[in-house]
Structure 1
Amino acid sequence: MLRSFRKVSLMKQILYLIVLMLIILLISFMVSNLIARNIIEKKVADSSKKIMLQIEETMVSFFSDMDGISYSLLYSPTIQSYLSSTNVLSRILMDKEIVSEFSSTLSLKKNMKGIQLYDSEGTMITSIGRAVEPSTKKRVSSIEYTVLHPNQLNATYYTIAVPVYNLQNNYVLRDYRGMCVFIMDVANLNSILSKSKISNHSELLLVDQNNNIIAGTDGAINTEEMDKLKKWSEDPRYIVQNITLSYNGWKIISVIPKKELLQDLDIIERLNVATYLIIFSIFCLFLLIFYSRILKPVKALLDFIKSYAKSGGPRRFNVVYYNEIGVLANNLNQMLDNIDQLSRNVQIVQKQMYETEIIKKQMEISAYRNQINPHFLYNTLESIRAIALYHKVGEIADITASLSNMFRYSVKGTHLVTIRDEIIHLKEYAKIIEFRFGGKIQIVIQTDESLLAVQTLKMLLQPIVENAVFHGLEKKIDPGTVLVRIESTTVKKCKITIQDDGCGMEEQQLRNLSKSLQQFMTPGNTVNDEKLGIGLSNIYRRIKLFYEDEAKLTIDSILNKGTTVSITFPIYRQTEEGGS
């Protein structure tokens, strides 16, 4: 599939990708809208549940207050005496006190509209406030809540029936004395429900155990709303929740129309559609610009390249657009110019490379010409050392051993050694120099111990020290010293300084020497200057070939003061080469 897609033209690939992006974008809009709907419905359902719990808490608190009021009233000495008396005259005389207590109780709650008192036989003996039909149930054993049906004052009221017992008797005997009925207005319940509406068209209803509506957010309750309640519970367009009051078994029912909740989401959907159309238009504009400003110039550039590959010549691409394609075309023209220039220079470069190869072969031939059978030389030197030891001439034995070690080191195959090896080799040379000049010339070595394991080119120190001895100190009458100092710099490079206090050289001679060293690296150029010495010229070329521009060799000299040669090269390059 991917391989066949690669064979399709670039324009079709872009078109396919845009269609794919539009499909993905459409799906993402639909999925995000569905997720948003579900999240909103869940959030609203959770909020509605919390509100109903708060309403339940408020109503339970209200009913709890009513319990306290009823107990305070019904178990007062006056009421207890009134219900205990069987004498009609006594009750008539106490009516004024009973009415007074009932009036005081009615003033405690605004929605308490009346009180009816029944004796143990179920006969209503006194009442106050709102006149309603006597309760059909004449005896209750516990507190009961009853809704007055629509034909009874349009369900505006409900009753709380509380049993009354004799406080003087044992609790187990429960001497029943009568019943008190409180007539309650539902206005306060309507107010509680109205204040808790989530949206304008949502409904909060309070129903009893028989699903009769007691109160609602709209106040007046009718039969039509009771019919709607059944439909709402079965209609998926509404979110219907309910919670049961533990106090009396009534239910709080929340009805929320989903359409009203998702009105804001509909606006977002319309914005999504508008955004989708705008993106589609932008993609169409992109295709147009892509074809006219990119694809068409690229095709023209490809046609030019194909034709140029066959014909060649000085012809160049005509640049029309000055965007990235124009830059590419300019670079192509510049590249063709460079190719023409390079084709003219290739013979010169090949000639220089050929000369360099000839120099390399000449150096190899010179090295082969100077080779001596090492085993023959080792055996000869060992024989000389043995004769010296036999005749007890220790100095000849020592100098012969040093010479043997130097030769063995110089012909060793590897071209990379450690600085420790170079110092050991230099010390063998120092023994020979000390013996030859009778201690007149001393070689002092100062080394940073942390650099001993660093690898470097072989035969780097001894040739330069040899130049210092023979060109600087040998002609000097007074004793001389060659100081070899090896240290690290702040830029992670190794610096070798070889300083003598010999004859030095004039400023013009120093400039000629430095210039000769620079020319020594020019391809096709050879230097044959005895003042350079084979050691110094060879070392300069070797460090430049190996380290390139990261290595540096400098020469400082003052006439009759001495000469200083400094070599700097990177440590990391040595470590990498040495480890390879």
Structure 2
Amino acid sequence: MRLLTKMTLMHKLLLIVGISTLMIFSLQIYYYSKFYGLTEDKENVHTSKILKQVEEKVISYAQDIKDAALASSYNTMTHDYLSSDDPIYRLRLNKIVIEIMSGIKASNKNIQSIMIVDKNNNILGALNPEDYVVLEEFEKKYSLPVFRSQTKFFGKVFNSEKMERPAYFFYHSISSTLNSDSTVSDLGKCIVVYKTEILDQHITNIKNTPNSLLMILDNESHIVTADESSMKGTFFDKSIFGGMEGDSREHQVEYRQKLNHVQINEIELLDWKIVSMIPINEMTDELRAIRNSGFMIGTAMTLLILVMGLLFIRSVTLPFGRIIRFVNFIGNNDGKQRLKMSIGNEMGFLAIEINRMLDRVDEANEQLLEASISLYQMELAKKQAELASLQSQINPHFLYNTLECVRSIGLANRVMEIVEIATSMAKIFRYSIKEDHFVQINNEMDCIQDYMRIMTIRFTDKFSEHISIEDNVLSMRIPRMILQPIVENAIYHGLERKNGKGILTIKGWVTADNVVRFEIADNGKGIPAAELHKLRQRLQAADIGQSFSTEKGLGLLNIQRRIKLAFGEPYGIEVNSIENEGTQVSLQIPISFDEQPAVR
């Protein structure tokens, strides 16, 4: 900050131009990186959806093959055929079982052959010589006897000399528990040779980018199918995936001399994998044009800012320099010259204002003596006013002495009304100027009783009062002079103007919500509805910093303000009144026995 204050205006403007240029490039880099990330995430989500769809189709494909094997294995005819030792009976069942398997095969175009092998290795269902070759190669590769009581999909079997195309197998061991609850009897095995051509339809023509690769690998890393038909049946080196693990795996690997984003989904039923590989640079090809356009626009904007900035700096600093030199000249020479600048912008207006200021300074210098005299006279008047204010203050002892004098005169003349009024007035005055801001409620009620004695003497038989305060309330504390002004309002505005005798009621109790509530009611003149509405609005809007010294209704507003200051919400006063029927003022404060309750 200290360095900035020492910089010249030109350097500050150059700094602003430089910061603006840097911000433009920073924003471009930020938005490009964010857009790059969003594009990559979008491509990943799209690829994940494709892999999920392919996975669901492959699982459905495998489940159909498994269901076909189970249907062939667990029908009654197949079990009777495998469990019977009667050659004639088996011969009769042979044709039926073959028809059942043929029907199952016909219902699923993905099945090449269904073969049942009994415990003596007799084959049922091999309809052409290639089936025997396929089964022979399968047994050589996987040693079937070790797979007793298993259900499993096996990998590819292929002999280029004897077979036209690779074969994939589903193996299911057929057993029976009819002889005993605990003994499992091996009857044979069911072998389904299935086709993978249907999977080509799910993979072909799915190209996220021109050089992307989508393929299905079997458990031996042979490519079952791929979107590049030339790769089908070849071996894929999985070592390029490194240590990728998990079901839905994402990584970046080097393949075909390009960095590729790889996603792998595993199919546990087949022990196969669906692999997607997309070159990283192709995922963001669409951003290249945007990036190039952005850099071109950014460069053009930077040059424009630099040119406009230099022009702006020149247009500001040159006139500003003239103004500084002129001000230095005037300050040193105290001449009558004026600044002349024929510029219509802010600098021209500044020159005009400087000239006007110099004119006013000259006028001020001529009036300096008169201003000094006027200032002296004002200070003298202020001192006199303060002295008069001090002299007008009344000593409280003078009031006490005056009231005592009035009381003495009343006693001398045996006018007991004057004695009682003077005594009550002295008590009220002493109570009102106490230093304690919070007093016990019984002290407040004593003050009200003194006031009522004065009013009873003044208005003989004009009204009667009914006071009902619970005993437990009297020992609680309340802000001083809170209730007395309300009683005074009830008499002055309500009962005094009433024709006939009035009634003043004062009640105080603790509510079920542990709140002290007072109700001061009269059956006097009441308040007109419009005036009552205005009073309620002013009570509701009363602010602790607002002054009401010039407003009608000072007493109630002042009480509301003091309660809000002392206790906060929801305490305060409410006013209900019906014209020519009476007024009721309700006051609520919290229970307090402390000398100075905390603001809530």
Shorter chain as normaliser: what TM range?
Answer: 0.5 to 0.7
Asked whether 1:244 is paired with 2:244, we answer no
- Say which SS state the counterpart of residue 108 (structure 2) adopts: coil
The equivalences for 1:306-385 within 5 A come to 306-350=328-372, 352-353=374-375
- Say which SS state the counterpart of residue 127 (structure 1) adopts: coil
Shift of 1:30: 3.9
Q: Name the residue aligned to 1:258.
A: 280
Shift of 1:277: 1.2
User: Aligned letter for 1:293?
Assistant: S
Shift of 1:349: 3.5
CA RMSD of aligned residues (A): 4.6
Q: Name the residue aligned to 1:114.
A: 113
User: Aligned letter for 1:177?
Assistant: L
Q: Name the residue aligned to 1:70.
A: 69
Q: Name the residue aligned to 1:192.
A: 202
Asked whether 1:175 is paired with 2:197, we answer no
Q: Name the residue aligned to 1:10.
A: 9
- Rounded to whole Å, the distance in 1 between the matches of 2:259 and 2:138 is 42
**Distance change >3 Å, CA 131–CA 56, structure 1 → 2:** same
- Rounded to whole Å, the distance in 1 between the matches of 2:174 and 2:166 is 26
Asked whether 1:298 is paired with 2:320, we answer yes
Kept in 1: contact 2:112–2:195 (CA 8 A): yes
Shift of 1:220: 5.0
User: Aligned letter for 1:272?
Assistant: G
Kept in 2: contact 1:208–1:214 (CA 8 A): yes
Kept in 2: contact 1:242–1:251 (CA 8 A): yes
Asked whether 1:147 is paired with 2:181, we answer no
Q: Name the residue aligned to 1:134.
A: 134
TM-score, structure 1 normalization: 0.55
TM-score, structure 2 normalization: 0.54
- Rounded to whole Å, the distance in 1 between the matches of 2:164 and 2:47 is 28
- Say which SS state the counterpart of residue 134 (structure 1) adopts: helix
- Say which SS state the counterpart of residue 361 (structure 2) adopts: helix
- Rounded to whole Å, the distance in 2 between the matches of 1:206 and 1:449 is 94
The total of aligned residue pairs comes to 391
**Distance change >3 Å, CA 318–CA 150, structure 1 → 2:** farther
Shift of 1:46: 5.7
Structure 1 stretch 156-165 or stretch 146-155: which is displaced more? 146-155
**Distance change >3 Å, CA 104–CA 355, structure 1 → 2:** closer
User: Aligned letter for 1:83?
Assistant: L
Question: 5+ unaligned residues in a row in structure 2: which ranges?
Answer: 243-252, 392-397, 419-483, 489-534, 539-546, 553-600
User: Aligned letter for 1:213?
Assistant: I
User: Aligned letter for 1:295?
Assistant: T
Shift of 1:36: 5.0
Shift of 1:284: 0.6
Kept in 1: contact 2:262–2:278 (CA 8 A): yes
Kept in 1: contact 2:204–2:226 (CA 8 A): yes
Shift of 1:73: 1.9
Q: Name the residue aligned to 2:227.
A: 217
- Rounded to whole Å, the distance in 1 between the matches of 2:356 and 2:158 is 100
Larger Rg: 1
Kept in 1: contact 2:216–2:274 (CA 8 A): yes
Shift of 1:492: 4.6
Shift of 1:356: 5.9
- Rounded to whole Å, the distance in 1 between the matches of 2:216 and 2:381 is 111
User: Aligned letter for 1:143?
Assistant: T
User: Aligned letter for 2:187?
Assistant: R
The equivalences for 1:35-74 within 5 A come to 36-38=35-37, 40-41=39-40, 44-45=43-44, 48-49=47-48, 51-74=50-73
Shift of 1:304: 1.8
Deviations 1:304-326 (A, max 9, x none): 21222234444322233222222
Shift of 1:105: 1.0
From 153, 164, 173, give the equivalent of 2:174.
Answer: 164
**Distance change >3 Å, CA 186–CA 393, structure 1 → 2:** closer
Q: Name the residue aligned to 2:478.
A: none
- Say which SS state the counterpart of residue 201 (structure 2) adopts: helix
User: Aligned letter for 1:285?
Assistant: V
- Rounded to whole Å, the distance in 2 between the matches of 1:330 and 1:37 is 55
- Rounded to whole Å, the distance in 1 between the matches of 2:121 and 2:40 is 52
**Distance change >3 Å, CA 292–CA 21, structure 1 → 2:** closer
Aligned residues with identical type, % of pairs:
18
Kept in 2: contact 1:147–1:155 (CA 8 A): no
Shift of 1:184: 1.6
Question: 5+ unaligned residues in a row in structure 1: which ranges?
Answer: 372-377, 399-447, 453-487, 497-580
**Distance change >3 Å, CA 130–CA 106, structure 1 → 2:** farther
